[in-house]
Amino acid sequence: MREIGARQILVYMGHLYKDLKKKDKADYFSFVDPGNIPTCPIGTDGRDLSQHIADQLDAVCRDSICLIPYNTGYHWILTIVNEDKNMIYLLDSTSNRNRDDTWKTIVTNAVKMYNASKGISKGPGFKILTVCIVLIYEYMNW
């Protein structure tokens, strides 16, 4: 098996966006380019990467769902930020219980930064889901 690269993820995101646009639901979703997110956190504590993600959230309209693909090294996970519910979902097809919490911390801090810029003091909730990405696409393919 060969590793899936950021280009393949971008093609998939483009296909998903096209389907959402056909169904007039594209305005409810935003996407973060996986090429802009390094596999290793920028800065000593990941603050730069958290700020980058907060800026991405700020660039989209409120009440949307932001999809953030992230490569942990040799494995892709999907992070979904539901701004309306102030909730972060981490979708991972492997039930890796030894997962590094660095990514969780970076994304949580990003949402906290975003919330603070909007005057929201409540921190986001966080759920880790072990699920196949194809099932998510089928679910969204309403």
Q: Each residue of 69-112: pLDDT tens digit?
A: 888 777 888 899 998 888 999 888 776 655 567 888 889 999 99
pLDDT bin (cut points 50, 70, 90) of residue 131 is low
Note down the domain range covering 116: 1-8+44-78+92-133
Is residue 15 situated within a structural domain? no
> Any residues with CB less than 8 A from the CB of 96 and at least 6 apart, and which?
75
- Single-letter residue type at 16: L
Is residue 106 situated within a structural domain? yes
pLDDT at 22: 92
16-75, pLDDT tens digit by residue? 889 889 989 888 888 888 877 766 555 556 788 888 888 888 877 666 888 898 887 778
Q: How far is CA 4 from CA 12, 15, 27, 42, 88, in A?
A: 11, 16, 27, 22, 24
Is residue 23 situated within a structural domain? no
pLDDT at 125: 92
Is residue 53 situated within a structural domain? yes
pLDDT bin (cut points 50, 70, 90) of residue 140 is low
Q: How far is CA 42 from CA 50, 51, 70, 126, in A?
A: 9, 10, 14, 22
Is residue 63 situated within a structural domain? yes
Residue 35 structure tokens: 């090429």
pLDDT at 111: 93
Q: How far is CA 131 from CA 13, 93, 99, 111, 128, in A?
A: 18, 5, 15, 23, 9
pLDDT at 142: 46
Is residue 124 situated within a structural domain? yes
Q: How far is CA 103 from CA 19, 26, 27, 90, 138, in A?
A: 29, 26, 26, 10, 26
The pLDDT of residue 139 is above 70: no
pLDDT at 104: 87
More confident residue, 75 or 125: 125
Report the number of distinct structural domains present in the chain. Answer: 1
